[in-house]
Amino acid sequence: AQSVAQPEDQVNVAEGNPLTVKCTYSVSGNPYLFWYVQYPNRGLQFLLKYITGDNLVKGSYGFEAEFNKSQTSFHLKKPSALVSDSALYFCAVRLNDYKLSFGAGTTVTVRA
């Protein structure tokens, strides 16, 4: 079955330090991969996506993600985390032409 896994329920980092949120995928064929962020009491917001092309994808709010086919990973990264990056992050993969499958989510806490 096609799916994504987020192996960490929580990630804690200090402000100014690099932030990485991990995602691995299991799909047949070429994956379409996405990252979303959810701030408290809000809906999910699109951050970035990989469909084809350059393995390093740049997105909103200074985030980027690296597609690694050999490791079947699509980790989200930010070089210098901000307290305002504290949120719930979801990785997602295409199931078919109209459905995504979401990971369980990773809560990021950035301490001042």
Partner 1 sequence: DAGITQSPRHKVTETGTPVTLRCHQTENHRYMYWYRQDPGHGLRLIHYSYGVKDTDKGEVSDGYSVSRSKTEDFLLTLESATSSQTSVYFCAISAGVGYGYTFGSGTRLTVV
Q: What is the DSSP letter of 62?
A: G
Q: Which long-range contacts (CB under 8 A, 24 or more apart) does 50-55 make?
A: 50/74
How many whole angstroms separate alpha carbon 87 and alpha carbon 96? 28
Among 45, 60, 68, 109, binds partner 1 (CB under 8 A): 45
103 belongs to the binding site for partner 1 (CB under 8 A): yes
Q: How many helices (H) and strands (E) does the chain have?
A: 0, 12
Give the shortest CB-61-to-partner 1 separation in angstroms.
15
- In sequence order, what are the residues at sequence separation of 6 or more whose Cβ sits closer than 8 angstroms to the Cβ of residue 19? 11, 13, 76, 77, 78, 81, 85, 108, 110
32 belongs to the binding site for partner 1 (CB under 8 A): yes
Among 49, 62, 66, 72, binds partner 1 (CB under 8 A): 49
Among 98, 108, 111, 112, binds partner 1 (CB under 8 A): 98
90 belongs to the binding site for partner 1 (CB under 8 A): yes
Among 51, 61, 79, 84, binds partner 1 (CB under 8 A): 51
94 belongs to the binding site for partner 1 (CB under 8 A): yes
